[in-house]
Amino acid sequence: MEASIFLFADLALATSFLGVSLGLFDFLAEKFQRPDNKRGRTQSGLLTFLPPLVFALFYPQGFLMALGYAAIALVVIAIILPVLMVRKVRAEKPGAGYQTIGGKIALNLALAMGAVIIAAQLMVAFNLV
């Protein structure tokens, strides 16, 4: 059972890494106008993988720090922006659209939880906790 959990975690990490790295590889190749040949792909690969490798080798704790900052961005994208969009739509078109249980209280609670998550991460980043 334990081996299957580790296998699942490893596969989740590997597929996430592959998706992000392939997306970044293509983005950098297009952004820097690298040709689609062996030399251009090698340059794109170095642009994609060399900076994170150097960062990880010289600052091993940096990965956890980067995850913390990514958490802040995710809270903004997944919690704060949707709440603000719902508020705006409800203000512009009262009574229109899909309503759920909780109303304004639930929206305010979600927004507060997002703020708590961001505040907690910033306190960790600045060694306040």
For the whole prediction, is pTM greater than 0.75?
A: no
Residue type, 44: S
Higher pLDDT, 50 or 101: 50
What gap in Å lies between CA 25 and CA 36, rounded to an integer? 12
Domain end residue (candidates: 42, 58, 74) = 58
Domain encompassing residue 5: 1-58
Q: What is the pLDDT of residues 86-121, one digit of tens each?
A: 989 888 888 776 777 888 899 999 999 999 999 999
Average pLDDT score, the chain: 90
**CA distances to 43, 45, 100, 112 from 30, in Å:** 12, 12, 43, 40
Structural domain tally of the chain? Answer: 2
2, two tokens = 């334990």
Note the pLDDT of residue 62: 85
Would residue 93 be called left, alpha or beta, if left means φ above 0 and alpha means ψ between -120 and 50 degrees?
beta
- Are residues 47 and 82 both part of a single domain? no
pLDDT at 82: 95
Q: Looking at this protein, which amino acid is placed at residue 76?
A: V
